[in-house]
Structures are given as C-alpha cells and as structure tokens.
Structure 1
Amino acid sequence: MNTFFYGVLPYIALTIFIGGTIMRYTLYERNWTTKSSQFLSKKDLKWAGPIFHIGLFMALGGHCMGILVPKFVTEAAGTDEHMYHLMSLAGGLPAAVLLLGGFLWLCKRRFAGNDRLQVNTSTMDKWLYLILFLTIVSGTVGTVSNIPGGFDYRESISPWFRSLLMMQPDVSLMENIPLVFQLHMLLWMIIAILFPFTRLVHCLSFPFEYLLRSNIIYRKK
C-alpha cells in the first residue's frame, strides 16, 4: 500500500493535474472560469475572500519553504531544529487561523441562508468544498498537535517529496509518520486529481491584458 500511495499515486495525480488542465484549457476554454457568484451575494465575500486567500498564500509559502529547502541548509545558516520549529509555528498558526476561518466564512456564505447561491452550487463544487475542508483541517490539526515538537517532517515528508521530484520516490520515508499527516498527503493528491475539473483552474490565470487596456468610463444615468 505504501508503494502505491507514496510511489505511484503522486505521479498519477500529477499526470491528471497537468494533462487534464491542458486539455480543459485547449478544448473547453469557455468553461475556464471561477464561476463567480459575487453578483448573487457580495457582502460576506468582501472580507471572507481576502482572509482566505491571505491565509492560503501564507500556507503555500510555508509549505514550499519546509519542503523544498533541505534541513542541512537551514542548519548551515545557524537555525537549529528548535528555532526552526518556533519560526514555523509563528507563521503556520496565523496562516491556519486565516485559512480555516476564511474558508468557513465562505462555506457559510455559500451553504447557509442564500438559496440563490445553493442553486448555483454544482455537485462538483460540493465535493471540492468537502475535500478542501478536510485538507485544511488535517493540516491545521497536524500543526496544532505538533506544537510541543516531536515530529520533524523535514526528516520524512520533505525528503520524500523531493525524491518524487527527482523521479526516485523513497516510500520508506513515509512509513512511520503520524496518521494526520498521512491523510494530509493523500488529500493534496486528491485535490491535484480534481483540479482540472473544478473552478480551481482560475488560479493559473492572470489578466495581463487588464494592465494595458484603456480605462473604462462609467457615467451615472
């Protein structure tokens, strides 16, 4: 099972992520959208959206730092394990609060008390919200449960992830990691598989033409 989950499934997820995204953009470009619901409900989105995205960027930055930068590099820079753990908590806990809080606020907006939003929420959207919720919660629980220390993911998860990038997966590194982190790893693979078929594709787009276009003039009636 370890060989499949940590040596095969990541590549399946990555293949679907890249291939499915390219296929959707080339064959179904008109469906490449966030399916914005701002015109249906604008009030909560004003704060929930920015809070969620700030927490998301903070979490992604922390993940990239922790996964891609080997432990010996930070130690060579004079940061021992205890100091690194404190620094990761100082950034990880606020990120978790913002990310989970913003996400729950967005869920309340979409699923509680607004019939128009519920009608415009597809089955795939519901699955996406569920998987995102489980991913955020498992990451938050992992961060909080490791406040006292004891589990150093830079000795297991980080080198495993880098071994995937090197096309030489070392599944033995994932044998004894805590269950909540195993769940977190599985969930990001599921998100990668779902990514091309959901509204998440919008994060790969940036309106470059918007920066160069002429101003739009609005006049009162």
Structure 2
Amino acid sequence: MNTFFYGVLPYIALTIFIGGTIIRYTFFERGWTTKSSEFLAKKSLKWANPIFHLGLLMAFGGHVIGILVPKFVTEAAGTDEATYHMISLAGGLPAAVLFLGGFLWLMKRRFFGSARMKANTSSMDKLLYLVLLLTILSGTAGTLSNITAGFDYRESISPWFRSVLMLSPDVSLMKDVPAIFQFHMFMWMMTAILFPFTRLVHCLSLPFEYLMRSDIVYRRK
C-alpha cells in the first residue's frame, strides 16, 4: 500500500491533472470558467473571496519554499532548523487562518445562502468543496500539531515529493510520517485528480486582462 500511495498514485494524479486540463482546454474551452455567482450573492463575496485567495497564495508560497527548496540550501544560507521553523510558523499560521477562514465563509455563502445559490451548485461543486475542505483542514491540523517542532517534514515529505518529480520516487521516506501529514498528501492528490473537471481550472488563466476589462453591469428586476 505504501508503494501504491507514494509511488504510483502521485503519477496517476499528475497525469490526470496535466492531461485532463489540456484536453478540457483544447476541446471544451467554453466551459473554462469559474461560473461566477457574484450576481446571485455579492455581499459576502466582497470579503470572503479576497481573504480566501490571500490565504491560498500565502500557503502556496510556503509549500513551494518548504518542499522544493532542499534543507541544505537554507542551512547554507545561515538559517538553522529552529530559525526556519519559527519563520515557517510566522507565515504558516496566518496563512492557515486566512485560507481556512475564507474557505468556510465561501462554504457558508454557497450552501447556506439563498435558494438561487443552492440551485446553481452542481454535484461536482459539492464534491470539490468537500475535497478542498478536507485538504485545507488536514494541512491546518498538520501545522498546528507541529508547533513544537516535533516533526521535520523537510527530511521526509519534501525529498519524497522531489523524488516523485525526478521520476524516481523514494517511498521509504513516507513510512514514518505522521498520519495527519499522510492524509494531507492523499488529499492533494485527490484535488489534482478533480482539478480538470471543476471550476478550479480558472486559476491557470492569466488575470491581467481581468484587471483592465470593463465592469459587467447587472441590473436588478
């Protein structure tokens, strides 16, 4: 099972993520959209949306540094493990609060808002929200459980992920990883598998044109 989850499933997830996204953009470009629901419920979106996306960007940046930058690089730059841990917590905890808080706010708007919002929520949206919720919750729980620096993910998860990218997965690195982190790894793979079939594809579109385009006017009845 360890070989499947950390030596096979990552490639299944990445293949579907990349291949599915290319196919959707090539053959189903008309569906390449967020399916904006701003005209259905705008008030809460004004704050929930930027809070969620700010937390997302902070979390993504922290993951890139923590996973793709080897430990010896930061140590060579003069940052020992204790200092790195404090820096990661200083950025990780606010990111978790914003990311999870914004997401829960968006969930409240989506599932406990108006009847029109519920009517415009598909089965795929419901599955996506569930997977994202479990992914964010497990990541937040992992961050909170590691406040005392009891687990150094840069000696296991990070080199394992880099070994996957190098097409030579070292599954032994994940053997003694705490359960909450293993679950978080599983959930990011589930997110990658769902990605091409959901509204998440919009994040691959460059937003520059959006910043300069004219407002879309919606008129009330």
Q: Aligning the two structures, in what range does the TM-score lie when normalised by the shorter sequence?
A: over 0.9
Is residue 142 of structure 2 the alignment partner of residue 142 of structure 1? yes
1:117 corresponds to: 117
Equivalent-residue separation in structure 2 for 1:63 and 1:208 (angstroms)? 24
Is residue 186 of structure 2 the alignment partner of residue 179 of structure 1? no
TM-score of the pair, normalised by structure 2: 0.95
Task: State the AA in 1 paired with 2:190.
Answer: I
2:7 corresponds to: 7
2:166 corresponds to: 166
Q: Give the CA deviation at 1:210.
A: 5.4
Summarize the alignment of residues 54-203 of structure 1 with structure 2, pairs less than 5 Å apart.
54-203=54-203
Task: State the AA in 1 paired with 2:81.
Answer: E
3-state SS of paired residue (1:184)? helix
Equivalent-residue separation in structure 2 for 1:66 and 1:54 (angstroms)? 18
Equivalent-residue separation in structure 1 for 2:19 and 2:120 (angstroms)? 28
Of stretches 128-137 and 198-207 in structure 1, the one that deviates more from structure 2 is 198-207
Aligned pair count reads 217
TM-score of the pair, normalised by structure 1: 0.95
Q: Give the CA deviation at 1:208.
A: 4.8
Structure 2: runs of 5 or more not aligned? none
Equivalent-residue separation in structure 2 for 1:209 and 1:180 (angstroms)? 40
2:41 corresponds to: 41
Alpha-carbon distance change, 9 to 110 in structure 1, aligned in 2, over 3 angstroms? same
Task: State the AA in 1 paired with 2:100.
Answer: L
Task: State the AA in 2 paired with 1:192.
Answer: A
1:191-212 CA distance string (max 9 Å, x none): 0000000000000012555577
3-state SS of paired residue (2:79)? coil
3-state SS of paired residue (1:64)? helix
Please tell me the root mean square deviation across aligned C-alpha atoms, in Å: 1.6
Alpha-carbon distance change, 207 to 68 in structure 1, aligned in 2, over 3 angstroms? closer
Equivalent-residue separation in structure 1 for 2:128 and 2:4 (angstroms)? 23
Equivalent-residue separation in structure 1 for 2:53 and 2:163 (angstroms)? 29
Equivalent-residue separation in structure 2 for 1:131 and 1:122 (angstroms)? 14
Q: Give the CA deviation at 1:113.
A: 3.2
Equivalent-residue separation in structure 2 for 1:194 and 1:27 (angstroms)? 18
1:32 corresponds to: 32
1:110-162 CA distance string (max 9 Å, x none): 11131110000000000000000000000000000100111000000000000
Structure 1: runs of 5 or more not aligned? none
1:151-179 CA distance string (max 9 Å, x none): 00000000000001111000000000000
